[in-house]
A and B are shown apart, each in its own frame.
Chain A
C-alpha cells in the first residue's frame, strides 16, 4: 500500500510529469494530482477512449488484450495503463525541450 503511494509520488516528482490520475473502471476519478475540473475531463474522455481501444484490440483477437495506450500530442503525452478495476493516467510533457 505504501509502496504504491510512493510510486505515485515518484511519478509526480519525475521530470516533465504534469499530473497523475487514478480512475475507476467507470471513469470516476479516485485520486488525482490535478485540479478538479481538469481531472474530471481527463477521466471521462480518456476512459472512453481506452475502452474503445480495448474493444478494438479484443475484437480483432479475443485472446489478446490491451497493455497500455499512449497519446502523443504537440504539447504533452497522455499515458494510460489499464487494469481490470482501475486505470492510471499520467500526463507528461516531453523532455526534449
Chain B
C-alpha cells in the first residue's frame, strides 16, 4: 500500500503540468478505474482528478454506457478456425470439416494404475510376496541362502531370481524371497544387439582400352546431294535392267571384273585426259597469237584490194617421223571440225618406204592425236561420214585397209590381201559409200591397175567386187598365142555424185575422163578427153549438180558441165597442179595447189579468168604442194607438201565473199542461191544454144 501511494503521489504531482498518465489504468470491462478503489483505501490522500492517457479511446457518454454482451462458448479461441489440409485423393487443398477445439492447459502423467490391470496385478502379487516373505522368514531361511546364493551367482540374469521366486512360490505355498526381485520392465521393452561380422571390403576394377576413334568430317553441298541422287538413280536403273533381262547377269559380273582389274591397273594412265587438256592449254599459250589470228583476225587491207585476197599462214603441223614422207592426202573429220587426217607416203616410184596416217587437231599443233604406222606408203584416205572413227586407207602396194580409231590398235582392222582382191598397182583414191542394203559398210577404191573395186565390210572380212574395168578404147592387142589382150587404163581419181548415187566420174592417167554408173560394169556412160596428161583430181561442185572440176599434170584446171564435152572454164597455172578443191561455202570458189609451191584461189563470181589469190606458202621453192583441203566450218585451208608438212592458212575476207544483199532485200541463203549464181556465170560462157539447156 505505501509504495502504491507513493507512486500515486508522484503521478499526481506530475500530472498537472504534462497530463501524462503513467499510472496504469486498467481497462476493465465496465470502464471503471482502479483509482477509485485505491482512493477508498487512501482517504488521506488528496482527491485526484481523473487522468486519461493520451491514447485512451475517446468515447462519448452514450458509448460509455453502451452495453456489450459477451457470449461464452465452448470454442477454443486459440484454435484455428480453418485448417486446410492437402488431400492426395483429390489432389487439392481441402478444408478440414471440424477443427479440434480441445485446448489442453496442463498435463501431468500420473503413476496410478488401475486395480484390475496386469501391471497392477503383478505389483499386487509382489507386495503379497513381500508380505509373506516377511512373515515366514525362518521357514525358508535355509532354502533362501541357497537360492539367494544361486540367485547371487546368476545375478546377471534377471529372470533367474524371478524364476527362483516363482519356483519358490510354486514349491511352497509360502515363498520367502529374501533378496529383492529384479523388476521386470514395465513396458516389456528389451533391447538386443548383436555384432555382426563386417565383411572386408575389396575393390575390383578393370581398365579397358577405349575404342579406337576416327575423326570423320564431310562437307555437304548442293552438288554432293545431286551426285548422291545421280548415283542412286543409276543404281536403280541397273537394277531395273537386271530385272528385265536376268540372263545378262553374267555379262554384268564380267564387266564388273573387268572394271575392277582396270582400276587396279596402272594409276598413271588415269591422267590421260588431264594430260591431254594440259597439253592443249600449253600449246594454246605458246601459239597464242596464232590462235587469236585464227579466231579473230580479218585482213583489213582487203577493203582496199578490190578483188584480191590473201592467205594468212597459221599453224604448221609436222611430225618427226613423217618428215621425210610426202603428204599424200588430207581429209577432215565430218564430226569434229578441228580434227583432220593426213596420209603420208611417197610419190617417188623408186624410193618406196613406209607410210603413216596421222590425225591432227587444231587444238594441238605440236603433236598428232592419233598415229598409225604402215608398211607401205599411204596414198589416200577417207573418213566415213557417219562413223567418224572409221578410216579407209589405200596403200602404194595396192592394198586397202580400214582403221578403227576407237580401238587402240596400230594395225588396220581390215586389210585386203593378195588373195582378197588387192590391187596390183597403187590405190589412188578411196571413198566411203552409203551403207548397202544389208547395212554393211562399203567403200570404193580406184587404182592404176585399171579396176574400180567395191569393198564391203562383212562381219570381220573385206569382200571385194569389181565394179568397173577401165578398158582402153581400141586397145585390143594381139597376144603371143593369138589371144586378144585388153590392156586397162590407169585410174587416178574418181568422184561420186552427191545426189545420184550411181553416177560417178573417173579420171585416168591418160587424161581421159569417164562418166560411169555403178550398174554398168563394162561400159562407160561417156568419155571425155579432158587433159593431155594424167588427171589428178575430179570433183563435183557441192551445190550445182551438173558442174565438176578437174586438175591435171598438164598445168591446167578445167571446169565442166557433164553434158557438154567442152570445158566451161580453163585455167592455166604454170605448173603441174597437184590438187584442186571446191570451197564448201560457195559454189563459185575453188582453190588449187601447184608444184611450184603456190596456192591459187579462184572465185568465178568475181573474176572468171584470173585467180583472186596466188600465194606461195612454203619457204623453200623446191617443195611441191601436193594436196589441199577446205575446213568445213572454219575459214581455213590445209595444204600438204612433199616434205611432210601441213600448213594451215586463213582465207581473207575477199576470198570468202558471199553475194551482197541489195538494199531492202534479205540475203538468201541456201544451195539454190549458189546454183543460181553459178548458172548466171555459166550462161555467160556457154554458147547460146537454145537446144542445149543445162
Contacts and interface: CB of A to CB of B under 8 A. Distances in A.
Contacts of B225: 62
A70 B272 contact: no
A59 B221 contact: yes
B253 interface: no
Is the contact region of chain A dominated by helix, strand, or loop, or is it mixed?
Answer: mixed
Contact of A59 (B223, B267, B281): B223
Interface in A81-97: 81-88, 90, 92, 94-96
B288 A4 contact: no
Contact of A92 (B268, B276, B285, B289): B285
Given A4-B272, A7-B279, A58 B221 contact: yes
A96 B284 CA distance: 12
Given A59-B222, A79-B278, A96-B288, A4 B269 contact: yes
A44 B277 CA distance: 21
Is the contact region of chain B dominated by helix, strand, or loop, or is it mixed?
Answer: helix
B366 interface: yes
Contacts of B223: 55, 58-59, 62
Interface string A41-62: 0000000000000010011001
Given A14-B279, A79-B281, 13 more contacts: A4-B271, A5-B268, A11-B278, A14-B366, A31-B268, A55-B223, A59-B221, A62-B225, A62-B227, A81-B281, A83-B274, A92-B285, A94-B285
A81 B277 contact: yes
B273 interface: yes
A68 B271 contact: no
A6 B127 CA distance: 133
Contacts of B274: 81-83, 86-88
Residue from A8, A62, A67 whose CB has the most chain B CB atoms within 10 Å: A62
Given A79-B278, A79-B282, A55 B268 contact: no
23 contacts: A1-B266, A1-B269, A3-B272, A4-B268, A4-B269, A14-B283, A15-B286, A16-B282, A30-B267, A55-B223, A59-B222, A59-B223, A62-B223, A79-B278, A83-B271, A86-B267, A86-B270, A86-B274, A88-B274, A90-B278, A90-B282, A92-B285, A96-B288
B275 interface: yes
Interface string B246-274: 00000000000000000000111111111
Nearest to B283: A14
Nearest to B265: A1
A10 B221 contact: no
B285 A95 contact: yes
The 9 residue pairs across chains A and B that have the minimum distance between CB atoms: A62-B226, A58-B223, A81-B274, A88-B274, A81-B277, A62-B223, A7-B275, A83-B274, A86-B271
Contacts of B276: 7
Interface of A: 1, 3-5, 7-8, 10-11, 14-17, 20, 22, 30-31, 55, 58-59, 62-63, 67-68, 70, 77, 79, 81-88, 90, 92, 94-96
A62 to B, nearest CB: 3
B285 to A, nearest CB: 6
B414 interface: no
Interface string B286-298: 1011000000000
Contacts of B288: 95-96
A86 B286 CA distance: 25
Contact of B268 (A1, A14, A67, A96): A1
Contacts of B281: 68, 70, 79, 81, 90
Given A63-B226, A86-B274, A17 B266 contact: no
A92 B282 contact: yes
A85 B683 CA distance: 65
B585 interface: no
